[in-house]
Amino acid sequence: MAEKGYTILVLSDTPSRARQWHLSERGLRVALFGGALAILTIASLVIYSLTVQLDVAEHARLRETVKAQRRVATRLETLAQEVTRLRTFDHQIRRLAGMEEVQSLMAMGGGTLELGKALAAGEQAEYEQLVERLYQDLQRLEREVALRTESLEAVTTYLTQQKNRLAATPSIWPTQDEGYVSSSYGHRASPFTGRRQTHTGIDIAAPRGTSILAAADGVVTFSGRMAGYGRVIVVTHGFGFKTFYGHNQKNKVRKGERVKRGQVIGTVGNSGYSTGSHLHYEVLVKDRTINPLKYIVDEGRQARARQKK
C-alpha cells in the first residue's frame, strides 16, 4: 500500500513556472516540528537578548546608584568631621565666654563609614540597613548643624552684648594726665559748713583747663548749668551706667551728642560752689551712685589716688 503523502503546489502568473513538492506524512511532521523548533529557538534567543539588555541596563543603574550612595557617604563623613570641629569650636568659645555648655545631639552610628566600606567592597547583603543608617546620620547631622548654628548665634549675641557693656563701663581716669583725688567718695565734712555730708562722687584736683575725658562710650544727656555744680555734663552709657562731670570751666559737647571713651568733652574749672579748680566726678548705676574708683582699671591711677587722699 502506497504511503500517504501530501503535495505542496506553488503557482505563479506563468504556468510553466509552477512548483510542487511531495511530502510524505512523516516528512510533513518532521518539517512542522522543525519549523516550530526554529520558531521557539528564535523566540528564546530574542527573549534572552532582551533579558540580557535589561539586566545590563539594571546593572548599570545599580552601579550608578552605588556610586551615588558612595559619594553621599563620603560627603556625609566629611560633613560629620566639620560638625565635630564646629562643636569643639562652640565648646571652646562658650568656655572662654563663661557660658553654659550646650549638649550635643549628634551620636553618629557609624553607618556612614560602614556604608562607604561596604559599597567599596561590593557587599550588598546589608545594603538597605546601611542606607537607612546613613539617612539617620544625615538627620542627626541636620539637627546638630541647627543646634550649633543657634548656639553660635547666642554666643555672638552674648559677646556683642559683653563688648557693648565693656564699651559702656566707665573705666578710665576722667582727666587727661593730670589730677589726684582731693576728696573721696562717701561721708565727709562739708568744705562750706563743716557738717557731715555724703559725697556722691570723687573730687579730682587738677589745673584749670585740664581736659575732661568721657569715661566710656555713650550719649550726652545733659550739658549746661546746674545749681551748686556750675557747668555740668551728664553722659548716659547704657546698661544702667551714667557719669557726671561737674564744676567745669567749659563744656565741649552738646546734649544728644554721641561720645567715645577717651574723647575730650570739657575742661576742668571751679564753676559753681567750689573752693578750687577740680572735677567732681560721679558714676551712677541704675541712678544710684557708686564709688567711681571701683570702675577705674588703671592701677597706676588708683595707686596715685590713694597716695593723694
pLDDT exceeds cutoff 90 at 100? no
Rounded to an integer, the average pLDDT of 36-65 is 72
Residue 174 lies in a domain: no
Q: Which residues of 71-97 are buried (b: 16+ CB within 10 A; e: fewer)?
A: ebbbebbebbeebeebbeebeebbeee
Residue type, 250: K
57 and 111 in a single domain? The answer is: yes
Domain hosting residue 200, numbered range = 180-308
List the single range of 64-73, 100-109, 160-169 with lowest mean pLDDT: 100-109
The DSSP line for 31-82 is HHHHHHHHHHHHHHHHHHHHHHHHHHHHHHHHHHHHHHHHHHHHHHHHHHHH
Most trustworthy range by pLDDT among 141-155, 164-178, 241-255: 241-255
Instruction: List the CATH number of the domain containing 215.
Output: 2.70.70.10
- Across the chain, what does the average pLDDT equal? 77
Residue 175 lies in a domain: no
Residue 140's SS3 state is helix
Residue 220's SS3 state is strand
DSSP H or E segment with residue 293: none
Which pLDDT score is estimated for 165? Answer: 87
Q: What percent of the chain has pLDDT over 70?
A: 63
Block residue for cell numbers 567745669: 248
187 and 157 in a single domain? The answer is: no
pLDDT in tens, 178-191: 789 988 898 766 66
232 and 147 in a single domain? The answer is: no
Question: Which of residues 100 and 2 earns the better pLDDT score?
Answer: 100
Residue 257's SS3 state is coil
210 and 153 in a single domain? The answer is: no
Name the pairing type of β-strands 264-268 and 278-285: unpaired
Question: Which of residues 26 and 274 earns the better pLDDT score?
Answer: 274
Q: How far apart are CA 260 and CA 238, in angstroms?
A: 13
Which pLDDT score is estimated for 199? Answer: 84
**207: which residues sit within 8 A by CB, 6+ positions away?**
178, 268, 277
Q: How far apart are CA 139 and CA 142, in angstroms?
A: 5
Kindly report the pTM of this predicted structure. Answer: 0.55
Q: Which of left, alpha, beta for 203 (phi over 0: left; psi -120 to 50: alpha)?
A: beta
91 and 42 in a single domain? The answer is: yes
Rounded to an integer, the average pLDDT of 50-56 is 70
4 and 113 in a single domain? The answer is: yes
